[in-house]
Amino acid sequence: MNTNLAEESANALLRLSQRYRATYELPASDSNIVLVRVDLRFEAHSTDDGEPDQRVVDIEAEFLVVYRTTTTSPFPTDALRHFARLNGTYNAWPYWRELVQNMTTRAGMAGITVPVFRPRVREVEVQKSMQVPGESDDSAAPLTADGSTG
């Protein structure tokens, strides 16, 4: 965490932003493991009138979420990518929220609470590559981001 807070700017208006990215990795040593790396960043910028936008807080974190599967059969790349973005982020998010609140409090701010992670629901066409090996249902319904049928 980097901070550039001055006592005189304690009551300044802040513009808050955050970003995240999730990627997956399959270790060669164990075919039952999926590693998901979630990189997160939080920034607070002072927006005082007449002053240039100044970053006053910058928090970065990287979480490694380890999943153990019950199968050794390979997963399609697009399914793993989607799993990492949705499940990896969802499972790391509570730790991210706690870190941001704790660090902003320690920096002398009022303790900023990051909202609960709510993934966007969007319909995804089921692709042949995403079907489980041995399953031959050509009339599959579109899936939403939470995995339910549309």
How many whole angstroms separate alpha carbon 67 and alpha carbon 15? 35
The amino acid present at 20, given as its one-letter code, is Y
| pLDDT at position 123 | 67
| pLDDT at position 13 | 80
Distance of alpha carbon 88 from the chain centroid:
7
| pLDDT at position 53 | 77
CB atoms within 10 A of CB 84: 22
Output the tens digit of pLDDT for each of the chain's 150 residues.
667 666 545 567 888 899 999 999 999 888 889 999 999 999 988 877 666 678 888 999 999 999 999 887 788 888 899 999 999 999 999 999 999 999 988 888 887 889 999 887 666 666 655 554 444 444 344 444 444 444
List alpha helices for 48-125, DSSP H: 77-83, 89-106
Closest to 80 measured CA to CA, from 23, 137, 37: 23
